[in-house]
Amino acid sequence: MTAFRFELLGQNGKLRRGRFHTPHGSFETPCFAPVGTYATLKGLTPEQVKATGAELILANSYHLHVRPGAERVERLGGLHKFMGWDGPILTDSGGYQVFSLGGKVKVDDGGVTFQSVIDGSSHRCTPESVLTFQKQLGPDIAMVLDHCPPGDADLPTQRDAHERTLRWARMARDVHDRWGGSARGQAVFGICQGGIDPDLRAASAVAMAAMDFDGYAIGGLSVGETKAQMAVALDAAVDHLPTGKIRYMMGVGMPEDLLAATAQGVDMFDCVVPTRHGRNHTAFGADGTSLKLRNAQYADDPNPLVDGCGCYCCRKYSRAYLRHLAVADEMLAGILLSIHNIHFLQDLMRSIRARAEGAA
């Protein structure tokens, strides 16, 4: 039995219930992976993150390549040891981060050249180099380099990015095979692009599926398109991905989007939303709406953020206390609200999994 394996355990319509196995343990799906871009979830210890129910976390190979350097992390024992997390880790290739730099990036068919946001130094990313960085970091799941254009890009730009992403994916697949495939201890996922055009999305999914990656991501959504456009593009991609492989929608973390995408057959997600919201003194409320804790309406509110929520924050503190921390700019506010927000999304995933199991 291989170390990397996706089990489809149940299905309710398109909603799926599964489990993905890695050398560092398995994680249940649908799942939400909180993001630790620089090998840390801002303000939280690994123990606090685990207490929310999170089983998989994400770090970013682009940022870690720039600082402290993938070679340094490798010398220090790899990413798991470096950040003190013993569960599964996925690293993003950095495609989105590179292309979000706009004019500081030069794209060609071989890769991208960009300037560091830290010191302005020049860096080059190719399909092989981003896998090399991730091989050095040592996560369980690595992502191929993709070309993620702006959400409002015209069709010719989207088509160019789609075709370039496929060429880069084939190069990455060849490198992965040359190194021994997932038997070397690391899975590699392909990434579907195509913007909001359903034909491009379908073509991308078909071509990626033919390359037989260990899993498949859907990138380039939730970047400015409407909810209706996202749903059409997502359906076009998901319908052409293998049922026996895990499906990953990148960069999505709002409750309503998670509910919609799991209903369309997506298995895993990641996003900075829960911790970014926490640092900005915003919490998920009972119905998934946002509670802005600086608002005066919470100054005398003795209730927890969400009645019945089992997170550390809700079990111990009132909205009034959290509002006090937020107004006083105490860093504990961001920590507690981040804990709640991650826990809230883990609870949401648990409820979605239960609905899929109920139909089994």
CB atoms within 10 A of CB 9: 15
Residue with tokens 């937020």: 326
Distance CA 209, CA 198 (A): 16
Distance CA 217, CA 143 (A): 9
Sign, CA torsion 161/163/164/168:
positive
Residue 127 to residues 53, 132, 147, 203: CA-CA distances in angstroms? 33, 9, 11, 20
Please say whether the beta carbons of 158 and 204 come within 8 A.
no
Beta bridge partners of 192: 218
Please say whether the beta carbons of 62 and 113 come within 8 A.
no
Q: Where are the alpha helices (DSSP H) in 76-197?
A: 79-83, 95-99, 127-137, 155-178
Distance CA 198, CA 229 (A): 9
Known catalytic residues are 92, 270
